Amino acid sequence: MLRFVGGLIRPYRSTLAVILLCMLVETAMSLATPWPLKIILDNVIGDHKLTPWLHHLLHPMLERGDKLHVAALAAVALVLIAIVGSAASYIDNYYTESVGQWVAHDLRMRLYQHLQRLSLRYYSTHETGTILSTLTADIQTIQGFASSSTLSILVDLLTILCMLGLMFWLNWDFTLIAVAVTPFLLLFVSRFKKAVKKATHEVRKEQSAILAVAQQDLESIQVVKAFGQEKVEEKLLFDVSEATVGAALKARSIKALLSPVVNITVALCTAVVLWRGAALILAGSMTIGELTVYLAYLAKFFKPVKDLATTTNAVAQAAVGAERIRSILDTDAVIPENPDGLEPETLAGEIEFDHIAFGYDADNPILTDLNLKIKPGQFVGIVGPTGAGKSTVVSLIPRFYDVQSGTVHIDGHDVREYKLKPLRDQIGYVLQDTVLFRGTILENIAFGRPDATKDEIIAAAKLANAHDFIMAMPNGYDTLVGDRGSTLSGGQRQRIGIARVMVRNSPILLLDEPTAALDSESEKLVIDALEKLMKGKTVIAIAHRLSTIRDADQIVVIAGGVVAESGTHDELMAKNGLYADLHRTQFDAGSDKVESPQPQEQ
Ligand code: ADP
């Protein structure tokens, strides 16, 4: 963990040096604080001998009877010590916060970049809520640690050592009695640290469970409402929320033990020092000033010891945070990028699947030996039973996943020979439902190609049959759409999705049942837009309703992990195999929505 955080703070070495210097000054000032009082008590009020260098400095004044002068000097020294210490503390505070904030910023960006590169495989097995909580809360604990703890551990240790040194110098056997309990206190602290770490881990786990539950519910709020499942969802949140309370209280009950234990220990030591000190003063082997220094140090002595323990709390939290961050950063479920890969200007769009085997996990093969050749400009329809792997086949083209064996070729090259972004730039994707982002319609269409001009975007929207409904909206192209496009109808979202792909003008087009969720009225508009979009492109269309791909150059039936049949509609019907079966089922059941009455689009 230290090495991890060490790597993060390395760029801020020079700032850390300034902070360290300030901390050293603070420590020195804190050690010096009781000494002016000692001089007043012992040398001004009392008649004790001065330490040699002070003797050299102040003796002439004391000789002349200028005792009040010395008292004034001591008072001024007291103020100066406070001013220097406070200035150092101010600078230290500002720069430690700055290091913490920048370290958090760096880490956030590193994590986010990694998250963007992680394969879809990662997201199908990890909850978004948990990831978000790492991106926010866990990074915050590292920030807290980086800004307050790293150096203060050092300074705390140094303060303890210096105080011990000075106390031994004043009266070594008395010091032994005064600090006798320290080892026990440290033992307690180290035990304490382990318990706190464990409890903190539990709290963090429950907290991220809250996020995960809430996120899942809010994301599908419409379904929850439609099925009247609010109470069930509330119960889910109630359980994790209650568990969080339990875990937090348990953690607090451990953490809260620290202060009382330290305070009682301080009181015990102070009592011993007062009692023994009084005896020593009466016996003449200690001065009142020395006892004052002891009392002041003792009060201060336990603060760094206690701080060390509080720091252990920050360390424990940061260690948990670091573990969770590392678990994401160390995931190498990224699609490997080929740095010297090909960067195609425009592909012709020839696609070949050559003995493909693929499964989302190794034990569960979805495709076993899939072979398929698609010529540039061809329109290929993919059909097959639900779960046969139609979407999976399509997702191998833009390398959302890499195959386990075999090769996907585009224009004669293995897809892995291309650089990822240029490859994906050549591919347009229209899915069953188009996800829109919070922003204007214009921005949402430009998502397909950020450098598209407004004219290009409007032209694309016109071709996609979206221009008219966009212009009918209050702010036209500048109308804001809500989260995920919830303010638009399904058909409108699809047409924006098509416009988005239209501006991209990519030679390969993948359609994953883009009309499946539409009623017949908006379906007509979408199909018309799609036909314009498909012109001159290699198109692979997954179809549930066979009517949509009837005119395809090639229809491919995927079943049992392989291409079970392929040919034109007429050829496959004549063959009287799987396709003909599927066709009969749809025709008999009348499930082909084109022929059945549907509600109108609102
Ligand atoms: P189709 O498009 O033919 O309905 P899919 O390609 O969507 O089929 O899915 C094929 C199989 O792979 C299904 O059994 C499905 O449950 C599984 N599957 C799909 N996506 C994932 C994923 N991200 N992680 C794990 N399994 C998946």
Q: Kindly report, residue by residue over 566-576, the tens digit of the pLDDT.
A: 999 999 999 98
CB 168 within 8 A of CB 223: no
Going by C-beta distance under 8 Å and a sequence separation of 6 or more, which residues neighbour residue 176? none
pLDDT of residue 515: 80
547-556: pLDDT as tens digits: 888 888 999 9
Distance spanning both ends of the chain, measured CA to CA: 57
**Closest ligand 1 atom to 389 CA:** 6
358 band by pLDDT with thresholds 50, 70 and 90: very high
Higher pLDDT, 587 or 477: 477
Give domain limits for the chain: 2-329
Q: Are strands 562-567 and 554-559 parallel, antiparallel or unpaired?
A: antiparallel
CB 572 within 8 A of CB 580: yes
> How crowded is residue 343: how many other Cβ atoms within 10 Å of its Cβ?
11
**Closest ligand 1 atom to 124 CA:** 23
> What's the rounded Cα separation, in Å, for the pair 412 and 143?
50
- For the chain, the average pLDDT equals 85
How far, in Å, is the centroid of ligand 1 from the Cα of 540?
Answer: 18
The two tokens of residue 386 are 């639900």
How far, in Å, is the centroid of ligand 1 from the Cα of 417?
Answer: 26
Q: Is the pLDDT assigned to residue 429 strictly greater than 80?
A: yes
pLDDT of residue 362: 78
Ligand 1, CB within 6 Å, residue ranges: 124, 360, 366, 384, 386-392
**Closest ligand 1 atom to 125 CA:** 24
How far, in Å, is the centroid of ligand 1 from the Cα of 559?
Answer: 13
Nearest CA to ligand 1 atom 7: 391
pLDDT of residue 53: 76
**Closest ligand 1 atom to 542 CA:** 2
Q: Is the pLDDT assigned to residue 179 strictly greater than 50?
A: yes
> What's the rounded Cα separation, in Å, for the pair 459 and 370?
39
Q: Where are the beta strands (DSSP E) in 285-392?
A: 351-359, 365-374, 379-383
CB 523 within 8 A of CB 515: yes
How far, in Å, is the centroid of ligand 1 from the Cα of 389?
Answer: 6
Percentage, residues of the chain above pLDDT 70: 95
- Percent of the chain that is helix, strand, coil (3-state, to 5): 65, 10, 25
Closest CA to 24 of 145, 147, 161: 161
CB 39 within 8 A of CB 74: yes
Q: Is the pLDDT assigned to residue 584 strictly greater than 90?
A: no
40-79: pLDDT as tens digits: 888 888 877 777 777 777 777 777 767 788 888 889 999 9
How far, in Å, is the centroid of ligand 1 from the Cα of 26?
Answer: 62
Nearest CA to ligand 1 atom 6: 389
Q: Provide mean pLDDT across the span 364-392.
A: 91
Q: Provide mean pLDDT across the span 284-310.
A: 82
pLDDT of residue 598: 40
Nearest CA to ligand 1 atom 17: 387
Least confident of 79-88, 150-159, 499-508: 150-159
How far, in Å, is the centroid of ligand 1 from the Cα of 402?
Answer: 15
**Closest ligand 1 atom to 558 CA:** 3
Q: Provide mean pLDDT across the span 477-502.
A: 83
The amino acid at residue 490 is: G
- Spell out the alpha helix ranges (H) of 426-548: 441-446, 454-463, 467-471, 490-504, 520-534
How far, in Å, is the centroid of ligand 1 from the Cα of 58?
Answer: 88
pLDDT of residue 594: 40
Q: Is the pLDDT assigned to residue 85 strictly greater than 90?
A: yes
pLDDT of residue 310: 65
Nearest CA to ligand 1 atom 4: 387
Q: Provide mean pLDDT across the span 270-296.
A: 89
Q: Provide mean pLDDT across the span 288-314.
A: 79
Nearest CA to ligand 1 atom 16: 387
327 band by pLDDT with thresholds 50, 70 and 90: confident
150 band by pLDDT with thresholds 50, 70 and 90: low
How far, in Å, is the centroid of ligand 1 from the Cα of 390?
Answer: 8
Q: Is the pLDDT assigned to residue 232 strictly greater than 60?
A: yes
Ligand 1 pocket test: pick from 367, 382, 386, 392 the residue with the most ligand atoms within 8 Å of its Cβ: 392
Q: Is the pLDDT assigned to residue 591 strictly greater than 50?
A: no
How far, in Å, is the centroid of ligand 1 from the Cα of 387?
Answer: 6
Percentage, residues of the chain above pLDDT 90: 24
261 band by pLDDT with thresholds 50, 70 and 90: confident
pLDDT of residue 58: 73
pLDDT of residue 589: 60
How far, in Å, is the centroid of ligand 1 from the Cα of 366?
Answer: 8
How far, in Å, is the centroid of ligand 1 from the Cα of 576?
Answer: 27
- Spell out the alpha helix ranges (H) of 33-119: 35-39, 52-63, 67-117
Q: Is the pLDDT assigned to residue 128 strictly greater than 50?
A: yes
Ligand 1 pocket test: pick from 391, 400, 562 the residue with the most ligand atoms within 8 Å of its Cβ: 391
> What's the rounded Cα separation, in Å, for the pair 69 and 126?
73
Q: Provide mean pLDDT across the span 187-201.
A: 82
CATH of domain 2-329: 1.20.1560.10
Please identify which residue in the block is written with the tokens 């012109």: 535
